[in-house]
């Protein structure tokens, strides 16, 4: 795959635009009438740092995967999506976000394993059983919330602390936990049909007119971790690493090259070969999770295409 032009940053001025927020990987435009235009860029972040090069088609993969899963879970909880007028764009309802990410883990992997390996048996106030090995399945999925930081690292927080500090009122928090478990069960079911295991993921919610909405992306490689189902038990029995589809391999590559987002550390040089391999992994995940072929958009000018499609959508009376 040739390294294609990437959508690294946008700076549009849409009709009725009130503000724009450039996040780590997405540019969010707030328009009149509580409408958001969210553009999934090709930027990639790890350890809360935006890396030096964009990944071809990453934004398209994330946007289309998230859109598909929002549609497939809208019977569980209402969500923010209204339309997707471009491969990299979702238009939706502006909601007031809860300041906590709902992280749910089905397996002892990643951050949970690093915590466990350090000798601790509690994560976010949840007790983890003794005698577990890396990538073992928890008896029941555990919810390990994280505070949502505007800058820097998100931080683990317990249910008790969220309620004690009234970060989220209890009536809403109970709803969020219920939605989180149901969404994870649905995601697990869909993944299994495609020969994958949904290992862990995070959901974000917001309020609009007093009602809870699912916001942001769901079940994408940026917010979730997947294992291959085939051979999982055998690899566990032999104590081997699991074959996974997630962004974890990017973090591992960075760690192997001496970078963990700490002060004074330099982001390693991302050569064409590495960038291409990351792009291929994102596309593979899209095809594995959806069971359909990814259709990359090879526009000569991605920014022009995005702007044109959004303006056409906003100009239609029906929107």
* CATH (domain of 87): 3.30.200.20
- Looking at the structure of the chain, the number of domains it has is 2
Identify the pLDDT of residue 2: 44
Residues 181, 289 within the same domain: no
Contacts of 140-144 with CB under 8 Å at 24 or more apart are 141/104, 141/105, 141/106, 141/181, 141/184, 142/104, 142/105, 142/112, 143/102, 143/103, 143/104, 143/177, 143/180, 143/181, 144/103, 144/104, 144/105, 144/112
Domain that holds residue 138: 97-245
Domain boundary among 245, 279, 301: 245
Distance, CA of 43 to CA of 21 (rounded, Å): 15
> Do 91 and 214 reside in the same domain of the chain?
no
Residues in the chain with pLDDT < 70?
1-4, 149-153, 318-319
Shared domain for 25 and 79, answered yes or no, is yes
**Same-domain status, 138 and 277:** no
For residue 153, the model assigns a pLDDT of 64
Instruction: Give the per-residue pLDDT at 150.
Output: 61
Q: What is the pLDDT of residues 109-127, one digit of tens each?
A: 999 999 999 999 999 999 9
Q: Terminus-to-terminus CA distance in the chain, angstroms?
A: 37
The pLDDT tens digits for 16-56 are: 999 999 998 999 999 999 999 999 999 999 888 899 999 99
Q: Residue 1 has what pLDDT? A: 45
182 and 233 co-located in one domain: yes
Q: Are 237 and 220 in contact (CB under 8 A)?
A: no
Report the pLDDT value the prediction gives residue 151, as an integer from 0 to 100.
59
Q: Are residues 238 and 285 in the same domain?
A: no
Q: What is the pLDDT of residue 247?
A: 79
The Cα 125–Cα 207 span in angstroms is 26
Q: Which domain CATH number covers 135?
A: 3.30.470.20
**pLDDT at residue number 139:** 98
* Angle at 136 (CA atoms; ends 133, 142), nearest 5 degrees: 115
Clarify whether residues 112 and 183 are in a common domain.
Answer: yes
Determine, yes or no, domain membership for 197: yes
* Same domain (yes/no): 102, 77: no
Regarding pTM above 0.85, the answer is yes
110 with 141, same domain: the answer is: yes
> Residue 4: what pLDDT?
58
pLDDT at 248: 77
260: in domain: no
Query: How far is residue 295's CA from residue 279's CA, in Å, rounded to a whole number?
Result: 13
């Amino acid at each position: 795959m040739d390294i294609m032009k990437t959508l690294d940053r946008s700076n549009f001025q849409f009709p009725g635009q009130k503000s724009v927020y450039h996040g780590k990987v997405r540019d969010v435009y707030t328009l009149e009438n509580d409408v958001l235009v969210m553009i999934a860029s090709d930027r990639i972040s790890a350890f809360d740092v935006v890396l030096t090069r964009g990944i071809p088609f990453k934004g398209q993969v994330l946007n289309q995967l998230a859109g598909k899963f929002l549609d497939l879970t809208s019977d569980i909880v209402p969500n923010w999506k209204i339309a997707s007028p471009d491969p990299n764009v979702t238009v939706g309802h502006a909601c007031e976000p809860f300041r906590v990410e709902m992280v749910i883990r089905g397996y002892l992997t990643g951050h949970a394993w690093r915590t466990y390996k350090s000798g601790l048996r509690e994560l976010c106030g949840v007790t983890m059983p003794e005698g577990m090995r890396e990538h073992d399945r928890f008896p029941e999925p555990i919810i390990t919330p994280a505070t949502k930081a505007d800058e820097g690292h998100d931080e683990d927080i317990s249910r008790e602390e969220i309620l004690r500090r009234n970060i989220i009122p209890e009536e809403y928090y109970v709803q969020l936990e219920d939605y989180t478990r149901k969404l994870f069960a649905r995601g697990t079911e869909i993944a299994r049909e495609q020969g994958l295991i949904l290992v862990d993921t995070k959901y974000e919610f917001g309020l609009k007119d007093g009602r809870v909405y699912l916001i942001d992306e769901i079940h994408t490689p940026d917010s979730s971790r997947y294992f291959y189902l085939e051979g999982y038990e055998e690899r566990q029995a032999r104590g081997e690493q699991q074959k996974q589809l997630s962004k974890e391999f990017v973090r591992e590559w960075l760690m192997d090259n001496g970078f963990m987002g700490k002060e004074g550390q330099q982001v390693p040089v991302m050569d064409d070969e590495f960038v291409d391999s990351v792009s291929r992994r994102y596309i593979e995940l899209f095809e594995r999770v959806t069971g359909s072929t990814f259709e990359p958009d090879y526009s000569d000018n991605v920014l022009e295409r995005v702007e044109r499609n959004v303006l056409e959508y906003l100009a239609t009376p029906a929107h």
